[in-house]
Each structure stands twice: as structure tokens, then as C-alpha cells.
Amino acid sequence: MRLDHYLVAYDLVSTRSEGQDLIKQGFVLVNDKQVTKSGYELKETDVITLLKTRKYVSRAGEKLEHAINEFKIDFTDKVVVDVGSSTGGFTQCALNYKAKLVYAYDVGTEQLDKSLRDHSKIILNEQTNILDVTIPEHDIMTIDVSFTSIIPILRHISNSNKELIALIKPQFEVSPKELKKGILKNIKVEKQVIEKIVNEVNVLGYEINGFMPSIIKGKDGNQEFLIYLKK
């Protein structure tokens, strides 16, 4: 059995992607030796040790938590709209920081972690593009989307939103020809992406209350950024 399959089969992690992340980061031992290949084939006699378990259902939760603490954002008793909820990292983090309710939106289906699917404080909207939605009343919005630009989303929600924190992924703001094996390595292009987004949020009437590189890179190693906006 593959190592990543083993972690899921024996309930050591919730998903294969979570297991693969932990393996890649060196948190899984086989017979007391670090193994960093998800496809490592296990023998029946192998002993598996997990050095670290995740606080959140995905790495996104850790990214948001760091920004909350860095920017001192208060989620207490707030209604949240989470755009690009996926597995639920941002949603879970918002609830951990005492959000009253989270409207979770994602274009996919069956992605939200099973531990969150029946949560009484989550209103899940799957197979739903936020650009097709009338935004519900809320206090703060979180955005974490992939394979699409964040700019159309910012334009769509700006009239109904006063406070948001977004994960900027420059690799999805540029033409594929700018990427090398899925990674944006050109710092000049990365800077241009950030400047374009900053100009856009200024036009939309937001003030930038915080900006920082994410302490956790994207899965392919892309540098991402968190931006905190208020009106």
C-alpha cells in the first residue's frame, strides 16, 4: 500500500492531499526514518509514525490564522462569507475565531471536509460561482480561489462588502506562459500582479489595512500573499 493511502485508510488524516502535505514536509516516519515520497510502498511489517497532526482540515486554515493574528482581525460574532471554501480551511478558522455564521461558496462539489459538512454554523453552497450570487448580508468576507483571477470577484462583491481578507495567488493572475512547471518564478511579473490588484482595490474604494506574504506557500511552491481590506 502507498504511504499516502495508508494514512487515509487508518484515519491518520482526513484526505490524501493532507497526507501528502505532511509526508512532503517530513512529518511521517517509516520505521523511525523520514520518508518524503507519498508513493512509497509499505511492507506489512512497517511501523508508521505521524509526528504532527493538522489543526485545520487544510493548510488554508493555517494561512488565515496567521493573518488574523498579524492583522488583529476580530471574527467574534461576525457573519462571514467564504468564497472558494473548498475543503474548509478558511471556514473552519473563522469558526475557531468565534464567527457566528459562515456562508461557504465553492464551484466544486463534495469538497468540504466531512467534519464540517453538518456544522450548524455553516451554510454550504456548492456548485455555485460567487459571480452568479447576490451576496448575503455579512460582516467580513474571506477569499481563497484557484485557477481564476481574483479581480472579477472583487468587482462583483465590492458594493456589498466592507471588510475582507483575501489570499492572492499570482500564479493564477498571469498567462500560463509565465509559469515554469506551474510555478511563477519571475519576481518582476509577481510584483506587477500585486500592483495591479492594489490599484484595483483602491479604485473600488478599499483601504489596505494589511499585506503580507503567506507563511505557507502554495502546493507547487508558489509564493502567495494575504491582503486585508476595509471601507
Do 100 and 40 lie in one domain? The reply is no
CATH number where 106 lies? 3.40.50.150
Same domain for 33 and 117?
Answer: no
36 and 117, same domain (yes or no): no
Residues 7 and 110 in one domain: no
- Tens-place pLDDT, residues 19-76: 888 898 889 999 999 999 999 999 999 999 998 777 888 889 999 999 999 999 999 9
Cα dist. 83→12, 126, 195, 224 in Å?
A: 28, 11, 22, 17
Q: Kindly state whether residues 102 and 211 are assigned to the same domain.
A: yes
- In this structure, the number of other CB atoms found within 10 A of the CB of residue 125 comes to 17
Q: Determine the structural domain holding residue 123 and report its residue range.
A: 59-230
C-alpha to C-alpha distance for 97 and 109, rounded to whole angstroms: 26
Judge if 80 and 134 occupy the same domain: yes
Instruction: Report pLDDT digits (tens) over 134-180.
Output: 999 999 999 999 999 999 999 999 999 999 999 999 999 999 999 98
Residues 81 and 26 both lie in one domain: no
Same domain, 188 and 93: yes
Taking every pair of Cα atoms in the chain, the longest distance, rounded to a whole number of angstroms, is: 62
| Number of domain units in the chain | 2
Note whether 216 and 109 are same-domain residues.
Answer: yes
